[in-house]
Amino acid sequence: MFTVSANGANIPALGFGTFRMPDSDVARVLPEALKLGFRHVDTAQIYGNEAAVGEVLANSGIPRADIFLTTKVWVDRVGHDAFIASVDESLKKLKTDHVDLLLLHWPQSEMPLADRIGALNALVKAGKVKNIGVSNFSTALMAEAVKLSDAPLATNQVEYHPYLDQTKVLAEARKHGMSVTAYYLMADGKVPSDPLLKEIGARHGKTAAQVVLRWAIQQKDVVALSKTATVSRLPENFDVFDFALSLDEMEAIHGLAKPNGRIVNPGHLAPKWDD
């Protein structure tokens, strides 16, 4: 397993994401993912499955120190005390005394960014959080968050797949020693049937999905979140470390990006994105 080092955080480059996974799916699939070798688990308060994730991790037999656990604070946790209390609740559900990475889930909130960053820093000082970061932030907001924070930021978790150019976000992250964590890598099901990705996969004896996971982790400072509710798909998602894409193949995949490639764009949560 590769790791991405970003401002003191050593993040396993391939993570298991639990977005839109009900408790029953978490209970069924996450244990198998851990058996296979996944050690980076990503959840969030709004996913409603932190307790299920905590239960699986507690019963996995894997030492807590070997798991990199991420959760995210939802936008309605307004006010310092409410923000801190929500994280205490997350820790209780996750059956742990700390998370390895805590993110602000979206930039828009009634709680000013300076106050939210202040709360993240207080949690680091209290030892409840090892690393902090943001999610769905534009380059301007990333720069502002970095300026406001005493502790360095480890990542910006954003939508990233071959159809969405995130060059600007990647450049801004690197400027500050941060990583970019890619979610929605399968682009809502577009990836597996893409002719170019399938053709590249055929050269390597891999699927289009494996090609895109490899494309992500082969980029400097990029962490990839994979997700499946199908246990039989897990080995496919994990089996991306035994081949490499050529520079030409990497470029061809980058070439799939188009101006309207963004899929996730909730108006009440999203920032003004970079062009």
- Residue 41: give its domain's CATH number: 3.20.20.100
d(CA 229, CA 251): 31
Residues with Cβ < 8 Å from 41, sequence gap 6 or more?
Answer: 15, 16, 18, 30, 53, 57, 67, 68, 69, 70
User: What was the pLDDT predicted at 275?
Assistant: 82
Distance between start and end Cα atoms, the chain: 33
**Angle at 147 (CA atoms; ends 145, 149), nearest 5 degrees:** 70
Tell me the pLDDT tens digit for each residue of 55-108.
999 999 999 999 999 999 999 999 999 999 999 999 999 999 999 999 999 999
Tell me the pLDDT tens digit for each residue of 73-87.
999 999 999 999 999
Low-confidence residues of the chain, pLDDT below 50?
none
User: Is 272 a domain residue?
Assistant: no
Which pTM does this prediction carry? 0.97
User: Is 265 a domain residue?
Assistant: no
User: Is 93 a domain residue?
Assistant: yes
User: Is 269 a domain residue?
Assistant: no
User: What was the pLDDT predicted at 69?
Assistant: 98
- Using DSSP's 3-state secondary structure scheme, residue 5 falls into strand
User: Is 263 a domain residue?
Assistant: no
Q: Which domain holds residue 56?
A: 3-254
Q: Which residues are catalytic?
A: 47
User: Is 271 a domain residue?
Assistant: no
Domain count, the chain: 1
